[in-house]
Amino acid sequence: MDNEELVGFARRVGLFWPAAEIYGGAAGLYDYGHLGATIKRRWEDLWIAYFIEQNENYFLIDGSNMLPEKPLVASGHASRFNDILVSCKKCKTFYRADVLLGELGIKINEGADEKEIEKAIKEHGVRCPKDKGELGEPKAFNMMIDVSLGPEKKEKGYLRPETAQSVYLNFDREFQLLRKRLPLGLAIIGRAYRNEISPRQGLYRMRELIQAELQIFFDPEKWDLKPKERKPMNVVTYKTGKQTKMTPAELVKDGYPEFYVRHMEIIHHFYTGIIGVPEERFRFFEKGGADKAFYNKVHMDIEIDVRSWNGFREVGGLHYRGDYDLTSHSKGANKDLSVSVDGKRFMPNVLELSFGVDRNIWMLIDVFYKKDGERDVLGIPGFLSQYDAAVFPLQKDDALEKKASELYDSLAKEFRIAYDTSGSIGKRYARMDEIGTPYCITIDFDTVDSKSKDHGKVTVRKRDDRSQVRVSFDELRKMIAGSRAIHGIGMI
Amino acid sequence: MDNEELVGFARRVGLFWPAAEIYGGAAGLYDYGHLGATIKRRWEDLWIAYFIEQNENYFLIDGSNMLPEKPLVASGHASRFNDILVSCKKCKTFYRADVLLGELGIKINEGADEKEIEKAIKEHGVRCPKDKGELGEPKAFNMMIDVSLGPEKKEKGYLRPETAQSVYLNFDREFQLLRKRLPLGLAIIGRAYRNEISPRQGLYRMRELIQAELQIFFDPEKWDLKPKERKPMNVVTYKTGKQTKMTPAELVKDGYPEFYVRHMEIIHHFYTGIIGVPEERFRFFEKGGADKAFYNKVHMDIEIDVRSWNGFREVGGLHYRGDYDLTSHSKGANKDLSVSVDGKRFMPNVLELSFGVDRNIWMLIDVFYKKDGERDVLGIPGFLSQYDAAVFPLQKDDALEKKASELYDSLAKEFRIAYDTSGSIGKRYARMDEIGTPYCITIDFDTVDSKSKDHGKVTVRKRDDRSQVRVSFDELRKMIAGSRAIHGIGMI
């Protein structure tokens, strides 16, 4: 489905739409409807179960979204978290220079400065796309959103530009509390804020985004973590610039650290093994040279091929950040954040697993939505869907409704169950298909007829292939439990 | 435990502490450590299970924290969400007038305006508590935190002062999507922001707070919801100003709407029946007159008696908001938000169940922490604790460690299990007691000795009374499942 169709579908089934829509919306701000908010919380639960809870020294923490000025000066965000803007001298429209040049097919590095941009604009004779006006001088524009607190608004601060900073600020206390062991993983799921100038890209470039980030602090001389499998993964390395299938062993041979390659495997299994993204729609894309943040030793984007954007789009990243962050805050806070483990004092390195939650929700819709004849089907895995199953009485009838309601009460103790009595069975199926409910359970006259050979059995109709089976209550319970369970979580 | 002890305990076990602590902290901003973040997420899961998932037309949604200016002008926040400030003419210190007067024992209404404050200051000859300087003229100070977006920062907005606004802005779309049925419940768990001038009160007066709010939209002529039980509850009504035990029937007789009293029961059961707050530490406190927001028809605070604040403190509220919110946004957005149900057109009324998540976490610690001799015990219910159980090998020994590790692997598939091998058993018990782990399971030599009568059995030591029982693996599994289950959730 294309971008417009996805946005329309998202609105129609209760996934997401622009914030403050009744006031005409707000650029770069989105709200999640009842379906989106629930799928989002399920995705977060999955992320916590897979990335955090499988390791006994990894933990979820939470941090305030507003931060004082100092830490964001120390982290470099106050001086370097910039976009280069150009504006049209005639119509005064502002553009993000890299976006404008990119749309014209002019290649520019992600870290390009004002001078490089100016050079590119002159070389290619770029003018305003709206009225062909001349473009002004490119200027660095800090993307952080500032806040002023206190009675005279003199206490300056920022909305955090990434959740990672809240983790670095808490590393020292948590390291002390958690008995000074490395590797230590600290994760946050929360919001980050960026004054994006061209935020009109659905959930892909937002002014307020949700991140799920895990920072692993470790001793680079001691993290003895090796890749386990030989499964090849799609990778675009910076060196070749081409997408190829590479095994973990080949990546290690090419010089990527073993702990890094091991985490590529873990992430690859999360998407292809657990969530079920087709192998060919998943890849790592390495950033290097000026496209890579200077503090990253290795930087790969996690990309999913989405039809709605005509190709691969970033949904996260795996960043070997070295010791830049703790070193910066040691200086900024004037507090030594190095650690002493086994008689050695050193600054821990950081491996960051970063995921854009909104982009992951978008990706899920793109990958798992299918049109099947007239049917809209959201074929997401059962453990991510809003309901595990739906219960319907076949038609208005006291005996059927009584039985259906009993079954609902019994199942609802263990599972998340929808109950629907309104409209034809076909309509009720359609409503469940489009929100991704894996099973629809119908109570019919045979279910309640003690003389029928199908007495006590119900019809289960499956979302994905519309096949129907007749099962007992016990079998039903097993089916639902199986669809709800997360498979393969321990297999990595 | 007193306030200082609670704060110290919270820091020591990983619950919460000021944000950006290594930079000296930030007033009114807190971070949650690994224990606090996990208990918070469990509390949220409980809240969703109890207040949302038991009703098939209630849903969780999510909304952006930044909002454009217009809706917050329409809601009245831009003009009326004010504190009255006074400052010392000598030392320039600012005070929230109601807090300053309150601390001096001078009673003032919550909604008092500048003139009333000025009168009270003159009457009582109030001066600056620091240097006895004269106080300047009281001034209204808007508590919203503003943000400026866009390339020239001309797009004005605010961080939302309450999550409720995100719900009102989405009511119309959700009502349409969810097949136009009332009552419709829409809930958000998220952050709200207030430029508090005197934010130095732990988790009770923060500049960034977490709310869990459920807005129920209904037809006041048709919501046929009656109280079910006769259990008396502690209530301070506005009329009497005294705390008394009242049954639901008595409250209805006193004129409180039946649907309102029913929700008092639901909230009362949540705290006393599910979470286990002692009856005498729970009460409703009615606000009336100038203490009540003008749009509320009935307003009761939910209060818990906390030792750390020497008495009852608000943890939430039950607000019958009438149709103020939808009417305001109908005008502001120039879009009729009234509904047509069963041939009648009307503006839905709103019943708001509002909870301060941070205050609820604080309350949990206050109510459930106990000192037992030398032991620090966080006696929270099993379904809120970070771990369901901990597994220990008795001592360093290959056979014990192998068996313990097998048991850990097996239990960790179903439950959240800690594993600890370091230090004496006593030390390991102490670590688990203070973070609230209900059971500690020890593998000893009898467990692995095939000749022992206790072969295959483990010792389970209970957090609350330190009693020990010897059980088989099957019994163990049942014990843990029982402690983890939420009891009484369907009993209301």
Interface contact flag, B38 A60, Cβ < 8 Å: yes
Instruction: Give the per-residue pLDDT at A366.
Output: 98
Which residues in chain B touch residue A136, judged by CB atoms under 8 angstroms apart? none
Query: What residues of chain B lie within 8 A of the CB of A490, using their CB?
Result: 413
User: Tokens 């119908």 — which residue?
Assistant: A442
pLDDT of residue B109: 83
Residues A177 and A36 in one domain: yes
Within a domain: residue A52? yes
Please report whether residue B489 resides in a domain: no
**Cβ atoms within 10 Å of B84's Cβ, excluding its own:** 22
**pLDDT tens per residue across span B162-186:** 999 999 999 999 999 999 999 999 9
Q: Which of B9, B16, B23 to mutate to test the interface with A (most CBs of A within 10 A)?
A: B23
B429-458 average pLDDT score: 96
- CB contact under 8 Å between B61 and A34, yes or no, is yes
- Kindly determine whether residue B70 and residue A20, on different chains, have CB atoms separated by under 8 Å: yes
H helix count then E strand count, chain A: 15, 26
As a whole number of angstroms, the distance between CA B12 and CA A70 comes to 26
CB contact set of B307 (below 8 Å; sequence gap of 6+): B1, B2, B366
Distance from the A249 Cα atom to the nearest Cα atom in chain B, whole angstroms: 29
What separation in angstroms does the CA of B274 have from each of B47, B270, B485?
Answer: 11, 5, 11
Instruction: Report residue A464: phi and psi, to 5°.
Output: -75, -40
Shortest distance between the Cα of B245 and any Cα of chain A, in A, equals 33
What whole-number distance in Å separates Cα of residue A178 and Cα of residue A275?
Answer: 32
Cross-chain residue pair B169–A70, CB shorter than 8 Å: no
- Region B66-88: what's the mean pLDDT? 95
Burial of B200 (0-12, 13-18, 19+ CB in 10 A): exposed
Is residue A354 included in any domain, yes or no?
A: yes
DSSP per-residue letters across B298-345: EEEEEEEEEGGGTEEEEEEEEEEEETHHHHHHHHHHT----EEETTEE
Kindly determine whether residue A66 and residue B193, on different chains, have CB atoms separated by under 8 Å.
yes
Which among B30, B85, B145 is the nearest to A147, CB-wise?
B145
Q: Are residues B37 and B158 in the same domain?
A: yes
Q: Where are the beta strands (DSSP E) in B404-456?
A: 417-419, 439-443
DSSP strand pairing (A66-68 vs A82-87): unpaired
From chain A, pick out residues whose CB is under 8 angstroms from the CB of B59. Answer: 34, 37-38
Three-state SS at B185: strand
Question: A49 to chain B: nearest residue by CA?
Answer: B416
Which residues of B fall within a CB distance of 8 Å from A200?
none
Query: What are the residues facing A210 on neighbouring strands?
Result: A191
Cβ count within 10 A of residue A265: 19
Please indicate, yes or no, whether residues B452 and B332 belong to a single structural domain of this protein: no
Residues of chain A neighbouring B32 (CB-CB closer than 8 A)? 61-63
Q: Are residues B103 and B154 in the same domain?
A: no
Question: Which chain A residue lies closest to B22 (C-alpha atoms)?
Answer: A333
**Do B20 and A71 count as a contact with CB atoms less than 8 A apart?**
yes
* pLDDT at A126 (0 to 100): 95
Do B138 and B189 sit in the same domain of this protein?
no
Could you say which of A21, A40, A66 has the minimum Cβ distance to residue B207?
A66
Residue from B44, B55, B64, B95 whose CB has the most chain A CBs within 10 Å, to mutate: B64
Using CA coordinates, name the residue in chain A closest to B82.
A151
Within this chain, do residues B365 and B384 fall inside the same structural domain, yes or no? no
Q: Is residue A492 part of a domain?
A: no
User: How many structural domains is chain A composed of?
Assistant: 3
- Mean pLDDT of the B236-240 span: 96
CB spacing of B94 vs A151 below 8 angstroms: yes
Amino acid at A172: D
Cα radius of gyration rounded to whole Å, chain B: 26
Residue B333 lies in a domain: yes
- Would you state the pLDDT for residue B197? 86
Nearest CB partner across the interface for A20, out of B48, B67, B177: B67
pLDDT at B126 exceeding the cut of 90: yes
CB contact under 8 A, A172 and B22: yes
Which chain B residue has its CA at the smallest distance from A53's CA?
A: B416
* pLDDT recorded at residue B488: 80
- Residues B279 and B424 both lie in one domain: no
* Domain presence at residue B231: yes
Q: What is the pLDDT of residue B230?
A: 77
Tens of pLDDT, residue by residue, chain A (492 residues): 899 999 999 999 999 999 999 999 999 999 999 999 999 999 999 999 999 999 989 999 999 999 999 999 999 999 999 999 999 999 999 999 988 998 899 988 877 889 999 999 999 999 999 999 999 999 999 999 999 999 999 999 999 999 999 999 999 999 999 999 999 999 999 999 999 987 777 888 899 999 999 999 999 999 999 999 778 999 999 999 999 999 999 999 999 999 999 999 999 999 999 999 999 999 999 999 888 888 899 999 999 999 999 999 999 999 999 999 999 999 999 999 999 999 999 999 999 999 999 999 999 999 999 999 999 999 999 999 999 999 999 999 999 999 999 999 999 988 999 999 999 999 999 999 999 999 999 999 999 999 999 999 999 999 999 999 999 999 999 999 999 999 888 766
3-state DSSP assignment of residue A491: coil
Q: How many residues does chain B have?
A: 492
Cβ-Cβ contacts under 8 Å, A192 against chain B: none
Tokens 């103790």 — which residue? A413
Neighbour-count burial of A73, counting CB atoms closer than 10 A to its CB (0-12 exposed, 13-18 middle, 19+ buried):
middle
Q: How far is A248 from chain B (nearest CA, A)?
A: 27
Q: How many CB pairs under 8 A join A and B?
A: 216
Q: What is the pLDDT of residue A382?
A: 97
CATH at residue B220 = 3.30.930.10
3-class SS of residue B367:
helix
Asked whether residue B51 falls in the same domain as residue B97, the answer is no
**Which residues, in sequence order, are CB contacts of A313 under 8 Å at separation 6+?**
A204, A303, A304, A305, A306, A359, A363
CB contact under 8 A, A26 and B68: yes
CATH code of the domain in which A117 resides = 3.30.40.230
Kind plus residue range of the DSSP H or E element containing A481? helix A473-484
Which residue bears the tokens 């670095």?
A168
DSSP per residue, A203-256: BTS-SEEEEEEEEEEE-TTT----------EEEE-TTT-SEEEE-HHHHHHTT-
For residues B220-239, give the mean pLDDT: 93
Pair B318, B401 in one domain: no
Q: Is the pLDDT of residue B136 over 80?
A: yes
Residue in B94, B170, B214, B484 to test binding to A, most A beta-carbons within 10 Å: B170
Q: Is residue B365 part of a domain?
A: yes
pLDDT of residue B108: 86
The answer to whether the CB atoms of A37 and B31 lie below 8 A apart is: no
Q: Is A31 close to B64, i.e. CB distance below 8 A?
A: yes
A256 and A138 in one domain? Answer: no
Among A416, A209, A233, which Cα is nearest to A315's?
Answer: A209
Distance CA A484, CA A176 (A): 38
The residues, ordered by sequence, that sit 6+ positions from B142 with a Cβ below 8 Å of its Cβ are: B78, B81, B82, B195
Q: Please give the helix or strand (H or E) that residue B479 lies within, else none.
A: helix B473-484
Please check whether residue A489 lies inside any domain of the structure: no
Radius of gyration over every alpha carbon of chain A, rounded to an integer in angstroms: 26
Q: Which residues on chain A are in Cβ contact (under 8 Å) with B70?
A: 20, 23
Residue A451 CA to residue A339 CA, distance in Å, equals 75
Closest residue in chain A to residue B423, using alpha carbons only: A179
Contact A21 B66 (CB under 8 A): no
**Structural domain boundaries, residue A478:** 378-484
Band (B139; pLDDT cuts 50, 70, 90): very high
Q: What percent of chain B has a predicted confidence (pLDDT) above 70?
A: 99
- According to DSSP, the β-strands at B184-193 and B58-60 are parallel
Are B306 and B342 part of one and the same domain? yes
CATH number, domain containing residue A459: 3.40.50.800
Per-residue pLDDT band at B349 (split at 50, 70, 90): very high
Which two structure tokens, joined as six digits, stand for A96? 């993000």
Q: Which of A22, A169, A419 sits opposite B172 (nearest CB)?
A: A22
Of B12, B26, B151, the CB nearest to A85: B151
Helix orientation angle between B164-177 and A3-13, rounded to the nearest 10 degrees: 100
CB < 8 Å to B71, chain A: 20, 23
Place of tokens 């100003």: B241
Residue-level pLDDT at A109: 82
Strand pairing category for A389-393 and A417-419: parallel
- Given a cut of 90, is residue B29 above it in pLDDT? yes
Q: What is residue B282's predicted lDDT score, i.e. its pLDDT?
A: 98
**How many other C-beta atoms can be found within 10 angstroms of the C-beta atom of residue B278?**
11
Closest residue to A60, CB basis, from B28, B41, B413:
B41
Nearest CA in chain A to B179: A422
Residue A475's alpha-carbon distances to A462, A478, B309, B414, in angstroms, are 14, 5, 54, 21
Chain B residues lying within 8 Å of A419, measured CB to CB: 56
Give chain B's end-to-end CA distance (angstroms, integer).
Answer: 32
pTM of the model: 0.96
Same domain, B7 and B138: no
CB-based contacts of A6-10 (< 8 A; 24+ apart in sequence):
A6/A202, A6/A308, A6/A362, A6/A365, A6/A366, A6/A369, A7/A202, A9/A365, A9/A369, A9/A376, A9/A434, A10/A36, A10/A365
- Write out B442-478 in H/E/C secondary structure: EECHHHHCCCCCCCCEEEEEECCCCCEEEEEHHHHHH
Per-residue pLDDT at B290 exceeds 90 = no
- DSSP H stretches of helix in A83-225: 97-103, 114-124, 164-177
Q: Is the peptide bond before A248 cis (omega within 30 degrees of 0)?
A: no
Is the predicted pLDDT of residue B101 greater than 80, yes or no? yes
* Cα-to-chain-centroid distance, residue A441: 32
Residue of B nearest to A31 (CA): B63
Cβ within 8 Å, pair A13-B177: yes
Interface test with B, best of A17, A23, A95, A203 (most B CBs within 10 A): A23
